[in-house]
Amino acid sequence: MQKRIIIIVLYFSFFVFNSFCFSQNTRIDSLLTVIKTAKEDTLIVNTLNELFLEYEYDDDKKAEECLNKAFLLSKKKGYQNGLACTYENKGFFAADKGNYFEALKNYLASLNIREVLGDKEDIAMSYNNIGSANLALGNYPEVLKNFFSCLKIMELIGKKRSIASLYNNIGIVYNNQNNYPEALKNYKISLKLKKELGDKKGEAASYNNLGAIYNLQGNYSEALNNYKISLKIRQELGDKVGIAQSFNNIGSVFNSQENYTEALKNHFASLKIKEEIGANAGIAASYINIAAVYSKLNKNKESEQYLIKSEILSKKNGLKKYLNDVYKSFTILDSAIGDYKGAYENYKLYILYRDSLDNEETRKKTIQSQMTFDFEKKEAVATAEHKKELENQKALSEEKSRKQKTVILFVVFGLLLVLVFAGFILRSLTITRKQKKTIEKQKQIVDDKNLQLNQQNEEISTQRDEIEAQRDEIEAQRDLVTVQKEHIEEIHKEVTDSINYAKRIQEAVLPVSEVSRSVLGEHFILFKPKDIVSGDFYWTIKIKKLLIVAVADCTGHGVPGAFMSMLGISFLNEIVQKQEINKANQILNILRKEIINALQQKGVQGEQKDGMDISLLVINTDTNEAQWAGANNPLYIIKKFDNLKMTQFESDEASSNLQISQLSNQLVELKGNKMPIAIYPEMKDFTNHEFVLNKGDSVYLFTDGYADQFGGSKGRKFMYKQLKEILLDNCDKSMAEQLEILDIAFTKWKGNMDQIDDITILGIRI
């Protein structure tokens, strides 16, 4: 959240430069009067650029008209300063519309002119603009390259205020790349310079940025310290917008620290200021933040009320971004209270608004802008090559003319010799004829060579055209491949984002929080999904004195398995909470019936055998009397030697599974029925095992993923035997230590091999 605030607030943090191109203090009427009365074209161009800045955010048509007039007049008069300024304003205008490819093209054109003119401050401005456009496009290497080029010039000419802004912008880039050490380094340099300049408002912004980085690093004490310093400065300046932002940021830190009282206090303080200044977008955002805190406090009614307020305000003001966040929050809230239908409906609205913020038309315009930029760049290269060719032809023509002049002069010189030496007419005539023949032969040779050169030039031109055609075809194919690649990457990102969100929904219904898991007492849960979402799930609930715990392995893994897990959790809540069934085997019998009905399983040949394996334990926490039933999955009980009562495990099935690894500890394995929670050829009631646990005993519920993992030096399965040995060897250690030992053993065994299935092990110490 903090990272997004930095980008929104400081994204287009341009410098303040003293240039005749920028003056927004002049009134529109005065500027129009100057344009009507001015006699110098350069003054008209400058005034049109100033007038554009007045219209820029209020009247798109008039703003564009000013730019077009300034551009044509600058071109006509060859006014390079005005043309550079106009290109720059064209870039600003395109950036305002979100067309950053067009903005980049104009900023580059402005830079080319300014480099010829040699004004260092203007060149630095162009580098900054190019960097900002690349920042919007997410091209971070180019952003840093241009910002550092700008910084180098500003340090050379001693523009301290601009240097401070540049270090701040460079910090933003590193922040967006999650390079927090470099971001902190640049923000601190910027802060130091702003202090030296006495720029209180900039100083407050720098402290705010530092607080955001520390918050992202989880260093909440430093984050709060910097946010509070920023707040104090803003209060001294009377900057209400900044004060509201600081309160909001402080509230977010307290929320992360789970200090919800202070979080609400600061969010409400932010909301009050926003309501005073009429900042509707900020009010909508505060409602969402307050709702998020109430949700964490399990005050779902209050959370819902503030989400509804944000929804109404966002619809009234057309705030699609916040409507997107509202429906996303509604989805999480409905999932938390078990209203999966409501969660589904709100999730559809969330997807609708998310897609409207990044629709296909926007993407097409972006691609079209890129293609236009590439075409014009190629056209400029072709024009330059054509110009070079014309210059070569001109040089050849001049050389030919020079040779012809030489020949003519030579003939004239010969005739003069004839006139001078009139007395030697006969002899001179003979000589002259010989010379004439020689000259004619030479001329013929020259003409033949010129003809040959012309033919060679034509052949070279033809070959060049063929090469250019081949190059254009290759570039067109490359551009097509690039577009297709970007489309595939975009589809992959959307699918991955959807699965990641499905993971959040799945985690919302699992008992992952400390509060929901506190009913288990001393315990551990090793939960390692193979993919982003899991086909395994664990579930627990305590009703009065009965603690019910289940670990299940659904058919498949990934998204299909996750759907089955959501179905299983929903049915278990229904059976235990609403139907009030608390006998272990009855819970499984009813769960199997619900799964068969939900999946419409008929038992016909070729039908998909979807379902789940499960281990379900019921413990009376007052008497430690226990029931257990399992579908394919077993239960391990590790008992102290002096606690073990053999009479309760004397059945043939149980006693055959008793294993002893130490004198003091014994492991009892209860095997589940060999049938799944699904349609099955022979379906009978699940067996209900009843026994008494003693203090210090440990029970373990698990799926088959851990034991089935391939690895080790020979690439074999881990097997249940090794799992039992690990549990027996470490059962006297704390549950947290057992979790760490199991996790390390699994990672070491798997090595470089892929994880083959979802993994869940849940251990409880009585």
260-277 and 240-256 helices cross at what angle (nearest 10)? 160
What's the pLDDT at 516? 75
Residue recorded with tokens 């809230």: 333
Average pLDDT, the chain: 82
Strand pairing partners for 620? 546
pLDDT digits (tens, 9 = 90+) for 286-342: 999 999 999 999 999 999 999 999 999 988 888 888 888 999 999 888 888 888 788
Question: Can you say how many angstroms the Cα of residue 618 is from the centroid of all Cα atoms in its chain?
Answer: 45
**Integer Cα distance of 468 and 470 in angstroms:** 5
Question: Residue 574 carries which side chain, given as an amino acid letter?
Answer: E
What's the pLDDT at 462? 76
What's the pLDDT at 701? 98
Q: Are 266 and 247 in contact (CB under 8 A)?
A: yes
| Cβ-based neighbour number of residue 712 at 10 Å | 15
**Integer Cα distance of 750 and 447 in angstroms:** 83
| Cβ-based neighbour number of residue 598 at 10 Å | 14
Question: Residue 300 carries which side chain, given as an amino acid letter?
Answer: N
What's the pLDDT at 611? 92
| DSSP result, 589-623 | HHHHHHHHHHTT----TT-----EEEEEEEEETTT
- Separation in Å, CA 564 to CA 248, 506, 598, 625: 40, 11, 10, 31
Say how many CA atoms lie within 13 Å of 673 toward its Cβ.
24
pLDDT digits (tens, 9 = 90+) for 34-56: 889 988 999 999 999 999 998 98
**Integer Cα distance of 79 and 81 in angstroms:** 6
What's the pLDDT at 500? 63
Tokens of 434: 């010989």
**Integer Cα distance of 197 and 164 in angstroms:** 9
Extract the residue ranges of the chain whose pLDDT is less than 50: 1-25, 360-387, 389-390, 393, 646-648, 650-663
Q: Are 336 and 508 in contact (CB under 8 A)?
A: yes
Show the 3-state SS of 434-459: HHHHHHHHHHHHHHHHHHHHHHHHHH
pLDDT digits (tens, 9 = 90+) for 153-187: 998 988 888 898 889 989 988 888 889 999 999 99
End-to-end CA distance of the chain: 42
**Integer Cα distance of 464 and 461 in angstroms:** 5
Say how many CA atoms lie within 13 Å of 585 toward its Cβ.
10
